[in-house]
Amino acid sequence: MALDRATFGITEESLQFMVLDKKDMPEEFQGFQVVREGPLNNENMAEHGFAGNTPERFRAVGRVTGFMRELGETSTAVTGDGFNFLGATVAHLFDNPKSVTDWMHEVFVKDFEENVGESVGEDQQLISTQRLEISGFFDEAVALKVLQGGAAGLVSSTVLDFRVGRILGVAFVGTIGDHERLDLATQLARSLEKRIVQVVLGAA
């Protein structure tokens, strides 16, 4: 497809223009501030991923690099069960479209499902993962609801991955407690997909 071919003209420098600015995110996140953003190379991914992952593994799958932006609640207001505390978008660059598909199934979904019961991050355990049904994207897309817990309680992540040529877009919503936020993650992902296409076609 023409759009797939156009993504081969994308460079690493283009990725920063694909992730969403606050003004382009759903109303839910308009009171949030950027809490983290920047390049996301394979070394970063391996360091903060599941035990045993290496930059070499990610490169072998075809991942080149990425760029991410996270918006979160920065006030001291008391937040409780059901509060969405984080919204993030990421654009990853791969060698080719097949590499993106392989990553979605052999790294993203597989790693989460195979690490249920394992420790993740600091004093957190991955409790469960659930595949979610999604549709309406330009090409292939997959989504998971991930539940983890620790001394501070339960935290849910709703994560949606979608492909645009050799680019992988990721939308992420973090929620306090055991909650699925597929509708919100889908809103985020569709805005991200639109933005990625604009950059690829030179309209952004």
Which residue segments constitute the domains of the chain, with CATH numbers given? 2-200 (3.40.1000.70)
Task: Provide the pLDDT for residue 76.
Answer: 65
Give this prediction's pTM: 0.94
Residues of the chain with pLDDT under 70: 76-78, 203-204
- Determine the pLDDT at residue 204: 46
Let me know: does 115 contact 52? Beta carbons within 8 Å: no
Rounded CA separation 42/46 (Å): 6
The pLDDT of residue 79 = 75
Specify the pLDDT at position 8: 93
d(CA 91, CA 162): 10
Give the pair of three-digit tokens for residue 151: 């001394």
Map tokens 């593994």 to a residue. 57
Cα→Cα distances 97→6, 63, 163, 167, 168, Å = 11, 11, 8, 7, 9
The CA distance from 139 to 40, in Å, is 23
Contact 141, 159 (CB under 8 A): no
